Amino acid sequence: MGTPDFALPSLEELHKEFEIVGVITQPDKPAGRGQRPSPPPVKKLALELGLKVFQPEKKSQILPIVESLGPQCVVVVAYGKILPPEVIKLPRYGCVNLHASLLPAYRGSAPIQRALMAGERLTGNSIMLMDEGMDTGPLLATAEEPIYDEDDFYSLSRRLSLGGAKLLTKTLKDWFEGRIEPYPQGSSCISYAPPIQKEELRICWKAPAESVRDRVRGIYPNCYTLTERGERLKVLKVRVLKTYGEPGYILKDKGLVVACGEGAVEILELISPKGKLMSGEEFLRGYRLQRLL
């Protein structure tokens, strides 16, 4: 059970090592200018692999599908819906979930984004036996993954998805052969990773420069700011500078340097209001700008 790109390496690895009796993913969603139904990435790959695909629209439809397939284990990787308790209790080896954090840190649907936005230097993957709580089940395995200065959501997500797929298949083999004893999550260091809200996409220039940088990295490529004309600039990459000014104002240094609540950032890469990818310096040469909102 999975939906986005993050789940693709896991599906590929599972297909090599086990018999997959069926793939459950979310329904097709409208996309593009024509708003035509677009299949989720997991559906595309599953069909290429010749697997049966199911796309229940309602939560109540999941149990009959799983019962009809009769799996020994249900593997969940970023499916995007909460499973009914009856499904969790059904398979012999339970429902096993790959979660992109070191549980109990960052329980919830946006662990990679939230870890980056918090300025974390370390994250990882957890393989968990699902229960009725939100990412509260006992653990089967974990693996750490460093967060590098140059990381953004795409790069970190890619590494975690590849590493998680390898960890998942190894853990499942050990679990099926009785070599693993599930252990409870710790009661300290519990934190949550709720979905990213629309208002979080906009940069607040009153925040410290480090916080602005981490927001840009975590919500990549969707972080934005507004020009004085109300036009939207998508900000893709910044670096922190030790210079100061009134928040939001462009400082008269080389490059597109914007003052923050503490320090400043140089916008290195952006998408212009016309949709063109360019450096901050290129944008500033062709666009008169005093401040960003």
Same domain (yes/no): 13, 151 = yes
Structurally, how many domains does the chain consist of? 2
Per-residue pLDDT at 253:
66
Tens of pLDDT, residue by residue over 168-190, are: 999 999 999 999 999 999 888 89
**Amino acid identity for residue 119 in this structure:** G
Domain final position from 121, 145, 176: 176
151 assigned to some structural domain: yes
Q: Which helix (H) or strand (E) holds 161?
A: helix 153-176
Same domain (yes/no): 39, 145 = yes
pTM, whole model, 2 decimals? 0.92
Domain that holds residue 248: 198-285
For 281, residues 6+ apart whose C-beta sits below 8 A from its C-beta are 254, 255, 256
CATH of the domain at 75: 3.40.50.170
CATH of the domain at 207: 3.10.25.10
CA distances from 140 to 15, 133, 159, 171 (A): 21, 16, 20, 7
256 assigned to some structural domain: yes
User: Can you tell me the mean pLDDT for 203-228?
Assistant: 96
d(CA 225, CA 86): 45
d(CA 24, CA 22): 7
The CB density around residue 213, as the number of other CB atoms within 10 Å, is 21
Same domain (yes/no): 168, 41 = yes
User: Can you tell me the mean pLDDT for 185-206?
Assistant: 93
Same domain (yes/no): 49, 156 = yes
d(CA 199, CA 107): 21
269 assigned to some structural domain: yes
189 assigned to some structural domain: no
